[in-house]
Each structure stands twice: as structure tokens, then as C-alpha cells.
């Protein structure tokens, strides 16, 4: 278990990885059924890309 300086170092590394992602988009997903997200209808068979960069900077998640 991390304590003291090790805990701080671990927290700093996690924060750096959150802010500086290896890639801005996650692996694309294929919707298997029609669904509604935030008022938008996503048809079945649509390829969906998740913007990880935007999620990592959204204060409502962090």
C-alpha cells in the first residue's frame, strides 16, 4: 500500500495520465440496438466514437 511520498507520486502519475491521454478517442463501439443519448437517437448499427479527451476534462465527472 502506498503511503507518504509514494501515495503522492501515485496520485500525480494518475492525474498526468488522466490529463494527457495516449489517444483522444477510445476504441469505436457499434450500437446493437437503437437508443437515445442526451436527446439524440442513435440508430442500430451506428459506429460510436467516445471522446476520452473531453471526458477527462469535464468537471461533472471529476
Q: Tens digits of per-residue pLDDT, 7-58?
A: 889 888 888 877 777 777 778 889 999 999 989 999 999 999 888 888 878 8
Residue 15 domain-assigned (yes or no):
no
Residue 6 lies in a domain: no
> Does residue 1 lie in a domain region?
no
- Answer whether 0.75 is exceeded by the pTM: no
| Closest among 19, 22, 27 to 56, alpha carbons compared | 19
- Quote the pLDDT of residue 47: 94
Asked whether residue 33 is assigned to any structural domain, the reply reads yes
Question: Is residue 31 assigned to a domain?
Answer: yes
Identify whether 10 is part of a domain: no
Domain that holds residue 39: 24-62
- Sequence-separated (6 or more) residues with CB below 8 Å from residue 54: none
- Within-domain flag for 18: no
| Amino acid 31: pLDDT | 92
Q: What is the pLDDT of residue 44?
A: 96
State yes or no: pLDDT of 2 exceeds 70.
Answer: no
- Total domains present in the chain: 1
Amino acid at each position: 500500500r502506498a503511503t507518504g511520498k509514494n501515495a503522492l507520486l501515485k496520485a500525480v502519475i494518475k492525474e498526468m495520465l488522466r490529463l494527457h491521454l495516449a489517444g483522444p478517442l477510445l476504441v469505436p463501439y457499434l450500437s446493437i440496438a437503437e437508443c437515445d443519448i442526451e436527446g439524440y437517437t442513435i440508430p442500430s448499427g451506428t459506429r460510436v466514437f467516445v471522446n476520452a479527451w473531453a471526458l477527462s476534462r469535464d468537471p461533472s465527472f471529476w
